[in-house]
Amino acid sequence: MKIKKIICVLLTAVMICICLPFSSTAGEVITADYVEDEVVFEYTPPASSGARRSASSFRSRLASLGVTELTALDNYDDTIQTSSVSSEPTTYVAKISGNVEKTCREIEKISGISYAEPNYLLETCGYTTPLEITNQINNYVKHEKWYLDTVMNIPAAWEKYQTCGEGITVAVIDNGFYVDATDFSTNLWDDGSGNHGWNTANGSSDISPVYKSDGTALRDTAHGSNVAGIIGMASNGSNFVGAAFGAELMLLRVANGEATDNNTTVITSSAVANAVVYARRHKANVISMSLSIAGIYPTAIKNAINDAYADSIAVVAAAGNSSVGSAAGLYYPAAASNVIGVMASGQTDRYTLTDFSNYDEHSGQYYDIAAPGYAIIGCGTESGKFTVMAGTSQSTPLVASCIALYRSVYPNQTVDKVYNSLRNCSTKNVLSNPTVSTSKTYTYKMLDAVEFIDYGATKPEVEFNLNTTVTSDAKTGYIYGLDEGFADIASYVTVKDGTGTSAFIPTVNGNGTGSKLEIYTITGALYKTYTIIIFGDVNGDCKSDGMDAVLIGCMANNMGEYDDSIKYAADVNFDGSVSDADSVTVAGYAIGNDVISQIR
């Protein structure tokens, strides 16, 4: 594969005028690698009876521009979509024989093309190459406790909320995975055909790591296994454990089998975009990407992430390992507003960013959170071996794991609510590294799993049916205005979906006075208890009759002890006391000679 480097010399004035998707200082040089003979573009076919002719004409036009091969991004088919019924856009990867930038400009002139761009190259964000360790005793205490427990409070979240991510699918987009390692997750996602993910670089089920042609490993061959293991590593006697080992892992390989000049895997923007599309179509709840590209946000990836975000999928990405502040240059997709960008903190100084982590100089506008990114344990290359790595690559799956725990607790919350909880929860501060940011100290948040999930606790939203006379007294917690003899409380009072649940507890005699409506949070904690009031009903059978009149007479003459709610229901004259007059009113109502209002 041929690789070419774009060198963009940016002037501040130009940047301001044309609103480039990255930040730069005057005269700074920003580079971005891409595949020299490939172009990515999006095409929307015409919805007309001449669609087939248009497809032929379109293909001829592409050929005249030097396009030699054409592959649809999501189905690896070379068919031009020509449906006259649907005009859905399709993204293609084109092999070309000419200059990439010039070809992009020419393709963008064609009707139906929304964009054309190079097939950019992304990098894995592991700062160190994987160091393997063999199985030992007390592994958790020796290697994982400091970051999982002491810094991020993750085991406490497991215990408090009784979840390790169950019911959640995390899509890990990376360069390949050793799925046969004994300590890999026992909760691998399955597509129904025995596949635990997909290779979106070549459209196959082969998600294994990439090696050089001589069988030796590249510098980042084990990167994907390490990252996935940080989330879902299963103990199996090793004592190592992933941060959300109850979640299912959907493993998406985006490396194409070749190597860069730096002896690392080749990852294209088209493969990454396709992986995001795959994760969305297969209902992932969280996407974890320990990948980045400097200065440019490829449109193919941006569109795919926008669609995932619209489907309420949380996307987490690494901020990168270049010691660069956001004022000097942005790393994508972490810097996008609908992506959680993750910075890396250290081990010795746990609340300071590492000297390699990129950092935010704009009050969290681009990168959102910090998490440990040094000496982090993940899966290895074979049974009994594990990898230790440093980088924002390792911080990212820790944050993705916490989001998996959160979504397991609050499965109905929107991605906006998830992001808001993460960005605003109370937690310890992390400072920028003084050896990197020398002129100013910036403050960030260290993600604490318990504080994060606690913050997401939604107050139940109790809704009273405005088409009825039902109302409540905030001071007493009484609900009244119900119809005498009502059958279903849900006709009057409900809890908004996704905010909580309710349980109605009648008295021994029925739905009347003294019945309870209990409101619960979405985690099952009791939030509030209401008491039902039916005026004139004091024995709880939901009707006012002669028996109630007798009991009210006893109350008026201090015969017996009664609950406050019973006394409240007995005061049918609404004068603030229970008297014989109330008893007379109820007796008259029982024979049709008087009226009792349920509206106070």
pTM attached to this predicted model = 0.78
pLDDT surpassing 80 at residue 25: no
Report how far residue 494's alpha carbon sits from residue 336's, in angstroms, rounded to the nearest whole number.
Answer: 38
The label of the residue with tokens 């990129």 reads 358
Mean model confidence pLDDT for the chain: 88
Report how far residue 384's alpha carbon sits from residue 136's, in angstroms, rounded to the nearest whole number.
Answer: 9
What mean pLDDT do residues 427-447 have? 95
How high is the pLDDT of residue 10? 34
First to last CA, the chain: 80
Q: With 0-12 CB in 10 A as exposed, 13-18 as middle and 19+ as buried, what is 516?
A: middle
What mean pLDDT do residues 228-237 have? 82
Sign (positive/negative) of CA torsion 371, 374, 376, 380?
positive
What contacts 13, CB < 8 A, 6 or more positions away? none
Q: With 0-12 CB in 10 A as exposed, 13-18 as middle and 19+ as buried, what is 174?
A: buried
Report how far residue 372's alpha carbon sits from residue 554's, in angstroms, rounded to the nearest whole number.
Answer: 70
What mean pLDDT do residues 228-235 have? 87
Answer yes or no: are the C-beta atoms of 514 and 540 closer than 8 Å.
yes
363: nearest Cα among 397, 395, 325: 325
The residue type of 117 is: E
Sign (positive/negative) of CA torsion 62, 65, 69, 73?
negative
The residue type of 212 is: K
Percentage of the chain modeled with pLDDT above 70: 89
How high is the pLDDT of residue 1? 64
Angle subtended at Cα 496 by Cα 490 and Cα 498, rounded to the nearest 5 degrees: 130
pLDDT surpassing 70 at residue 16: no
pLDDT surpassing 70 at residue 21: no
Pairing of strands 443-445, 314-318: unpaired
Q: How many CB atoms lie within 10 A of CB 327?
A: 14
Strand runs labelled E in 311-450? 314-318, 331-332, 340-345, 369-372, 376-379, 385-389, 429-431, 443-445
pLDDT surpassing 70 at residue 595: yes
What contacts 486, CB < 8 A, 6 or more positions away? 492, 511, 542
> What pLDDT, in 10s, does the model give residues 26-78?
233 335 899 999 999 999 887 765 555 577 888 899 999 999 999 888 755 45
Report how far residue 145's alpha carbon sits from residue 247's, in angstroms, rounded to the nearest whole number.
Answer: 20
The label of the residue with tokens 């992001």 reads 419
Report how far residue 298's alpha carbon sits from residue 6's, in angstroms, rounded to the nearest whole number.
Answer: 13
Given this chain, do its domains 31-119 and 125-410 carry the same CATH topology?
Answer: no
How high is the pLDDT of residue 319? 97
How high is the pLDDT of residue 235? 63
What's the gap between Cα 54 and its chain centre?
40
What mean pLDDT do residues 179-185 have? 69
pLDDT surpassing 90 at residue 564: yes
Angle subtended at Cα 87 by Cα 81 and Cα 93, rounded to the nearest 5 degrees: 45
The long-range contacts involving 417-421, CB below 8 angstroms and separated by at least 24 positions, are 417/456, 417/458, 418/314, 418/456, 419/314, 419/340, 419/368, 421/452, 421/453, 421/455, 421/456
pLDDT surpassing 50 at residue 556: yes
Answer yes or no: are the C-beta atoms of 378 and 387 closer than 8 Å.
yes
- 319: its two tokens: 């901020």
Per DSSP, 321 falls in state S
For the chain, domain boundaries:
31-119, 125-410, 462-590
The 3 state secondary structure assigned to 172-203 is EEECCCCCCCCCCCCCECCCCCCCCEEECCCC
How high is the pLDDT of residue 122? 96
What mean pLDDT do residues 385-414 have? 94
The 3 state secondary structure assigned to 275-297 is HHHHHHHCCCCEEEECEEEECCC
How high is the pLDDT of residue 113? 94
Question: What pLDDT band is residue 185 in, cutting at 50, 70 and 90?
Answer: low
Report how far residue 378's alpha carbon sits from residue 435's, in angstroms, rounded to the nearest whole number.
Answer: 28
Q: How far apart, in Å, are the Cα atoms of 495 and each of 372, 419, 464?
A: 39, 24, 9
The architecture (CATH level 2) of 462-590 comes to Orthogonal Bundle (1.10)
Strand runs labelled E in 221-282? 248-253, 255-259, 265-268
Report how far residue 509's alpha carbon sits from residue 506's, in angstroms, rounded to the nearest whole number.
Answer: 8
What mean pLDDT do residues 103-112 have? 95
> What pLDDT, in 10s, does the model give residues 519-550?
998 778 899 999 999 999 999 999 999 999 99
The residue type of 355 is: D
The CATH number of domain 125-410, selected from 3.90.1150.10, 3.20.20.210, 3.50.50.60, 3.40.50.200: 3.40.50.200
39: nearest Cα among 62, 20, 55: 62
- 188: its two tokens: 């691998």
Angle subtended at Cα 538 by Cα 560 and Cα 594, rounded to the nearest 5 degrees: 120
The CATH number of domain 31-119, selected from 3.30.70, 1.25.40, 3.40.50, 3.40.630: 3.30.70
- 411: its two tokens: 């499965």
The residue type of 538 is: V
What are the phi and psi torsion angles at 175 (to 5°)? -95, 0
What mean pLDDT do residues 227-231 have? 95
b/e burial code for range 7-46 (CB count within 10 A of at least 16 → b):
eeebeeeebeeeebebbbeeebebebbbbebbbbbbbebb
Q: How many CB atoms lie within 10 A of CB 575?
A: 10
- 80: its two tokens: 């031009």
The label of the residue with tokens 């979405």 reads 522
How high is the pLDDT of residue 130? 75
What contacts 9, CB < 8 A, 6 or more positions away? 27, 28, 29
Percentage of the chain modeled with pLDDT above 90: 72
